[in-house]
Amino acid sequence: MRYYMTGEVETIEQAVSRIDSGSSIAAGLALEHSIPFAAGHELLRQGTDDLTMIGPISDLLFDQLIGGGAVSRVRAAWAGNVSAGTGYRFREAVENGTVDVEDHSNFSIALALKAGAMGVPYLPTKSLIGSDIFERSDLFLEESDPFGGDQLALVPAIEPDWTIVHAQRASPAGDAHLWGNMGITDPAVGAAENVLVTAEEIVDPDVIKSDPSRVGITRDKVTAVAECPFGAHPSPVAGYYNRDNEYYLEYSTQTKTQSAYDEWADEWVYGVSDREEYESLVERELGITEPTIAAEVQYGQ
C-alpha cells in the first residue's frame, strides 16, 4: 500500500509507525555503509513483526531484527556479522525454521530490485547458473538468449513495501543528498512502494538544490522523513562518523544465545527511548579526524 507524506518532518517514532506488521522492507542497501540501525531499533520497540527483510548483506541489522522476533522471512545474499562472521540470531532462526530464507547472490538481489525499479518483470544475468542458489530455488528460471543462444538466469522483480535509507542530509520534502558508495540504494528506492528517509541532518531545500548531482532520492518516492543524527551507528557514514568496529565484535560475543541477545537488546534497544539516549551508551570516539573537503562544484547559468 502506498502512503502519502504529511509534508512535515516527523520524529523517527512517527515515521516508523507507518510501517505495518507483515511488510516487506529493503534496508542495508549500501552494504556496510550507512545502515539504518536507528529505524530498525524503532521497529523493534514498536513491536512491528512478521517482516520480510530484503537486502544484499545486511550486516548486523537483520540479525538484530531476527533476535527481536520481528522477522518471518529474509530475501538476501548474506546475513551475518561482517567483522566476526556468524550472526548467531540469524543462524539459529534459520536452523530452527523460524525464519524462512530465500538465498540470493548480491547481483541477483540487485537485479530483482532493478527490475522492480524499471517496471519490468525480470532481468537476465550470466550469474547464478551452476550454483545451488539457482538449482535449489523455485524463484529463478533458465532461458536461452533469444538473440544469441547463451543460457541465462532470469531474476524476477522484487518490489518492497518499504525501502529505508539513512541519508547524510535531506530536505523536509524528502529530497536527499547521498555520498559515499551506493550499493543497491538506487534500485531499492526505485522499486519500493514507500521510502522512509532517515537523515543525519534535515536541511533547507536550497542546500539540496545547490547540488542536484548529489541527490540520490527524490520526494516523489518518499513517504516519511525523520531527522536522526547518529542513525546508522555502528555502521559508518561518510562525512559524519567512522564504523564502530569494536561494537560488532562485542555484539558477536554478547548474542550467542537468545537469552544473551535479550539482555543485549534490553540495554541497546528497549532500554533507550531515543537516539540521543542511545548515543550516550557509545563510549568510543568515532568522529572524523582527517576530513577530506571535496573541491567546490559550480552550477549556475
Partner 1 sequence: MASKTYTDRELMVTAAASEIEDSDTVFVGMRLPLIAFQVAVSTHAPNSMAVYESGVVRDSPADGFIHTMCDLPNLNRAVSTTGMIDIMSRLQRGDVDVGFLGGAEIDRYGNLNTTWVQGGEQEIRLPGSGGACDIACMADRTVLLMPHEPRRFVEEVNYVTSPGHSSDGSGRDTHPQAGGGPSALVTSKATFGFDDDGELYLRSLHPGVSESEVVADFPWEMNTAEDVDEGSVTTTAEPATAELELIRTFDPDGFWT
Give the footprint of partner 1 on this chain (CB under 8 A).
30-33, 56-57, 76-80, 82-83, 85-87, 90-91, 94-95, 101, 103-107, 110-111, 114, 125-133, 135-136, 150-151, 179-187, 235-236, 238, 242-243, 245, 248, 288, 290, 292
Q: How far is the CB of 129 from partner 1 (least distance, A)?
A: 4
Q: Which is nearer to partner 1, 133 or 197 (CB)?
A: 133
* The three three-digit cell numbers of residue 44, written as one number: 523493534
Q: How far is the CB of 270 from partner 1 (least distance, A)?
A: 26
Q: How far is the CB of 235 from partner 1 (least distance, A)?
A: 8
- Cα-based angle 36, 263, 281 (whole degrees, multiple of 5): 55
Q: How far is the CB of 80 from partner 1 (least distance, A)?
A: 3
Q: How far is the CB of 125 from partner 1 (least distance, A)?
A: 7
Q: How far is the CB of 162 from partner 1 (least distance, A)?
A: 20
Cα separation, 177 vs 168, whole angstroms: 6
Helices 258-268 + 245-254 axis angle, to 10: 140
Cα separation, 249 vs 78, whole angstroms: 18
| Cβ neighbours of residue 291 closer than 8 Å, sequence gap 6 or more | 239
Q: Which is nearer to partner 1, 40 or 216 (CB)?
A: 216
Q: Which is nearer to partner 1, 30 or 208 (CB)?
A: 30
Q: Which is nearer to partner 1, 107 or 162 (CB)?
A: 107
Q: Which is nearer to partner 1, 285 or 290 (CB)?
A: 290
121 CB-side CA count, 13 A: 4
* The three three-digit cell numbers of residue 69, written as one number: 522476533
CB–CB of 284/244 below 8 Å? yes
Residue 284: CB atoms within 10 Å:
12
Q: Which is nearer to partner 1, 48 or 105 (CB)?
A: 105
Q: Which is nearer to partner 1, 109 or 225 (CB)?
A: 109
User: In 3D, which of 52, 77, 78 has the Cα closest to residue 66?
Assistant: 52
CB–CB of 223/3 below 8 Å? yes
CB–CB of 264/257 below 8 Å? no
Q: How far is the CB of 142 from partner 1 (least distance, A)?
A: 8
Cα separation, 96 vs 77, whole angstroms: 19
